Amino acid sequence: MACGTKARRSAVGMMQEIVRAREALSAVDGMPKVSVYELKRHAIQNSLYGVDIDPGAVEIAKLRLWLSLIVDEEDRSQIQALPNLDYKVMQGNSLLDEFAGVKLLDDDLLAQAFVDPDSQLAMINSRINELQDQFFELDRKGARDREMKKRFVKEIEILKQQKDEEAK
């Protein structure tokens, strides 16, 4: 389930899609006809899960699920309580990037995944040129030492390896 208003719509929308699919399958398989109420109840109880950052949206989603369920029961005395959704539709942030100190997304890796190869090569070349310019500027000023030279050379070598891998 998504966040905000979409969450309230998506829970009911997903339930309706599940019900439509099961109705279509039962017609093809020749299975016994099950009421829409029973199909919805089964979908709510066994197939729907969601998270929303807004606790009000979670409660509204639960209410909408219950309302959409009772609308299809013709015998009002047969209406049962809504299945327990406390562990299925809950308040929380589904867009976490870290959990218990473990980073779930690597922003650098993600950014690289969406960069086309030509742009990636151009960025690597630009960084190599930048490092070489810095290196020669420090050399011209006499402000570099062996350790600094090693760091520049190592980073340039790494970038050249990345460039070779990208070119493949």
Using CA atoms, how far apart are residues 159 and 167, in angstroms rounded to an integer?
A: 12
Q: Are residues 30 and 54 in the same domain?
A: yes
Q: Which tokens belong to 81? A: 């309580």
Q: If pLDDT is split at 50, 70 and 90, which confidence band does 141 have? A: confident
User: Residue 102 domain-assigned?
Assistant: no
Q: If pLDDT is split at 50, 70 and 90, which confidence band does 4 have? A: very low
Q: Which tokens belong to 76? A: 């009002």
User: What pLDDT sits at residue 137?
Assistant: 81
Report the SS3 class of residue 114: coil
Q: Is the dihedral of CA 110, 114, 116, 119 positive or negative?
A: negative
Checking DSSP bridges between strand 102-103 and strand 98-99, what pairing results, if any? antiparallel
Q: Which domain holds residue 15?
A: 5-95
User: What pLDDT sits at residue 19?
Assistant: 92
User: Residue 123 domain-assigned?
Assistant: yes
User: What pLDDT sits at residue 5?
Assistant: 46
Q: Are residues 91 and 9 in the same domain?
A: yes
Average pLDDT estimate for 37-53: 88
Mean residue pLDDT of the chain comes to 80
Whole-model pTM above 0.75? no
Q: Are residues 87 and 118 in the same domain?
A: no
CB hemisphere CA count around 122 (13 angstroms) = 5
Q: Are residues 17 and 77 in the same domain?
A: yes
